[in-house]
Structure 1
Amino acid sequence: MSQNDVRGMIGVDKIGTKILFLDPRTYATETVLDGFQKTVHELLIIPETGRAYVPIFGDGIHGRNPNPGHLLLVIDCLARKHVHTIDLSPLSAPHTLRRAKDGLIYITCENSAKVAVIDPATNRVIDTIDSGSTNGHRLAIPADGQRIYTDNEEDATVSVIDLPNRKLIGKIATPQPLAGIAVSEDGKTVIAVSDESPAVFVIDTAAGKVVRTVDLEGVEKPAQIARYSPDGRLLVVSNTNSNKLSIMDAGTFGNQSAIPVGSQPMDFAFRGDELFVGCQGDGTMHIVDVPGRRNKGHVKAGSGCESIGFF
C-alpha cells in the first residue's frame, strides 16, 4: 500500500482500551473511540469494505486471563464509529484474526481451543474448528486459503488445519514454546517464533517439520510477532523484550538488522518503504525506513498501541 492509496490510519490502544484514528500524513490522533471492555487486542482491516475488526481478549494476558472476553468489535473506519458487536459465546479469549481467500474471517479463541469462522457479510459465527490446543494464540493463512496454522505456545507445536474442510489434520513439533507465527505467500514456509530464545524456527510445510533454526542477530531476548513484507522479500520480527525490530531477507534469513524502537514493540504495518510499529510499553509509534534500515522517528499514539493499520 502506497501513501497515495491510504484513506486513513487506525491504532488499537491495548493499554488505554481505546481505538484511535490518526492522520496518515502527520500521525496526529484525530478521533478516539472509548468505552470498551478490557481489552482491545489485535486488528483486521478489510480495506474494500472500510471495516475493521477488533477482538476483546479479556483483562489478562496469554495463559493468565481469568476474565476472558467473548466479543468482536466491528468498526466503520470511514465513519469512525463502532457499528456492531459480534458475540462469540460460548467461545472466549478471541485473539488473532485473518481473512482467507474464501472471504471469511478466522479467529483464534484461546481459552476455547477453537478457531471461529465468521461471515463478514452477516457478522455471524458460522462454524468452529478444533485448534488442537488450549493455548492456540495466533494464526496464519497462506494466500491459497488451503491451510490455517496456529502457534500453540506452551505446547511447542504448530497446528495444521485443512481450511476448506475445517478440520485439524496434524501438528508440527517445535524445539521450544512459541510466541508468534507467519506464513509465506506461497504457503511453503511457516515461521514460528521462539518464546524461550532470540530465534525463529523455519518449517517446511511440505515436509511437515522444522528444517532450520535462525538466530536473531543483535537481539538479546525472545521475540514476539513475525510478518512477511507485502512483496514477500523480507521477514520482520518484533522483539517486545529487547525493544527492537528485526528485518532480514526472507529467502536466506541473512542481511539482518536489529533496529531499536520504543518500549515493548508489538505489531506493525507496512506502507510503501516504511514500517509503523506500535510500542505498547511507552505509548509511541515508531516509523522505520525499511531500505535504509533505520528508525526515522516516533510520535505519541495513545497509552500503548499494540496494532497499527491503514485503510
Structure 2
Amino acid sequence: MKIRILLSGLAAFTSLKAFANETPAYLGVVNKADGTASFINLETQQTDLVINVGYFPHEITSSPDGSKVFVTNYGKEHVRSTSPKNHPGNTVSIIDMKNKSKSGELQLGTDACAPHGVLTSADGKRIYITCEDRQEVLVIDAVKNEISHSVPTLQAQSHMVTITEDESRAYTANFSPGTVTALDLKNRTILKQISVGPGTEGVALSPNKPFVYATSVLGGFLVKIDTNTLEIVQKVATDRSPVRVLPTPDGKLLIVNNSADGTMQIFDADTLDLIKRIKVGRQPIGLVVPNNDYAYTANMLDNSVSVINLKTMQVTSELKTGSKPDGITYIPASK
C-alpha cells in the first residue's frame, strides 16, 4: 500500500525567527487543541516555530538526525472518545526541520486508524505507529514513503509503542484491556499478551537490561516485565494516573509523570525504590528524557513544559506552549 504525500505550499507557521546555519536543539511539542506543533529553542527557551498539523494531534517523534519530525493526527477530540462527531484520523504530518516547514502528510490507508504512538528506528529508515482503531502497529518505510506492513496486536486501543534497538521486538501498551503486547517484529507474530492493569498506557524498554516497564493509569502503579520470560517481576505504587514512563539513557533512573497529581516521580530502575517526587504543572502528559541530565514534561492544563534537572532533581524553568500540549520530543542540534 503506497502512502500518498500531499505536498503543502502552506507551511502554516505562526512565527519564525532567524535561524543560523547550525540549528540548535529543540523540543517539539504537540498542541492538541490548536492542531499545531510548536518548536522551542533550548538555547533561548523561546518558541521559534509553530506549524499547523492535523485534527487533534497527539504524539510526535524526531528522526535520529533531527532532520524530520512526525506528528500523529489522532482525529478524535478525546483519546477514548465515542462521540459520533469525532472521527479517527488517518494521517501523519511530516515536518522538514531544515526548511522549517510541513513537507506533507503520510496517508495511513482508508480504514479508520486513529494513529497514536509513533517512533523512528535507530537508523531512521522506518517509522512505527500504533493504529488504535485497527489494533495494529504500522511499519512505515521512511525511504520509499510507503507502508511496509502491519503487525496485529489484537488488542483494543494499542496506545504507545516501544521497540528494541535491533527492531526484533515491539511492545505496545493497550489501554482498554490493560495489557502489554509483546510482538516478534521479524516473524510478525504475537509472543504474549501480558496482563498489567486497568488503563495500561506508558511503556518503555530499559536501554541496557532485559526489562520493559509499563504504567497502569487507572490502577496507579508501575510494573517491571522480564523480557526473557515475559512475566511481571515487580510492581510498585505510584501517584495517581501515571501516564508515561521513560528511563534515563544510562538505565539508572525511571521517570514517571502522574497526570492527576501533577507530579513527576523518579525511581531507581533496578529496585523501583522511589528516589524523589517533584511537583510539576497541572496534568503532565507528554514526557521526554533525552539525556541523563534533563527531563521535560508537557503540562496540558497549564499550557507549559516543565524542565527538570535530574542532577538537582528540581524544576529549573517553565516553557510556554500552545493549547493543551501533549506529545513531546527532543530534536538534536544539526547543521
TM-score, normalised with respect to structure 2: 0.85
Matched, 1:96 2:117: yes
Q: Distance in 1 between matches of 2:79 and 2:39?
A: 27
Matched, 1:56 2:73: yes
Whether contact under 8 Å (2:197, 2:219) holds in the other structure is: no
1:211-244 deviation line (CA, Å, top 9, x unaligned): 211122xx2x121011111221111111111111
Aligned to 1:117: 139
1:43-71 deviation line (CA, Å, top 9, x unaligned): 11013260011010012323325410000
Aligned to 2:10: none
Matched, 1:69 2:89: yes
Matched, 1:158 2:177: no
Aligned to 2:311: 291
Q: Distance in 2 between matches of 1:104 and 1:137?
A: 19
Whether contact under 8 Å (2:151, 2:189) holds in the other structure is: yes
Whether contact under 8 Å (1:21, 1:80) holds in the other structure is: no
Aligned to 1:81: 101
Aligned to 2:43: 25
SS in structure 1 opposite 2:133?
Answer: helix
Q: Give structure 2 stretches of 5+ with no counterpart.
A: 1-21
- Report the CA distance between 1:5 and its aligned residue: 9.3
> Which runs of structure 2 are paired with 1:177-192 in the superposition (5 Å)?
177-186=199-208, 188-192=210-214
- Report the CA distance between 1:10 and its aligned residue: 2.1
> Which runs of structure 2 are paired with 1:1-311 in the superposition (5 Å)?
6-34=24-52, 36-48=53-65, 50-64=67-81, 66-89=86-109, 90-101=111-122, 103-186=125-208, 188-216=210-238, 219=239, 221-272=240-291, 273-308=293-328, 309-311=330-332
Q: State the Cα RMSD in Å.
A: 2.0
Q: Distance in 2 between matches of 1:107 and 1:271?
A: 20
Q: 1:213 to 1:9 in 2, by over 3 A?
A: closer
Q: 1:268 to 1:152 in 2, by over 3 A?
A: closer
TM-score, normalised with respect to structure 1: 0.91
1:162-215 deviation line (CA, Å, top 9, x unaligned): 011222232112244412111112461111101223210111121221121112
Query: How many residue pairs end up in the alignment?
Result: 304
What is the one-letter code of the residue matched to 1:266? I
Q: Which moved more, 1:224-233 or 1:251-260?
A: 251-260
Q: Distance in 1 between matches of 2:164 and 2:209?
A: 5
Whether contact under 8 Å (1:140, 1:181) holds in the other structure is: yes
Q: Give structure 1 stretches of 5+ with no counterpart.
A: none
Q: Distance in 1 between matches of 2:286 and 2:104?
A: 24
- Report the CA distance between 1:270 and its aligned residue: 3.0
SS in structure 2 opposite 1:256?
Answer: strand
Whether contact under 8 Å (1:277, 1:285) holds in the other structure is: yes
Identity of counterpart residues, as a percentage?
26
Q: Distance in 2 between matches of 1:303 and 1:29?
A: 14
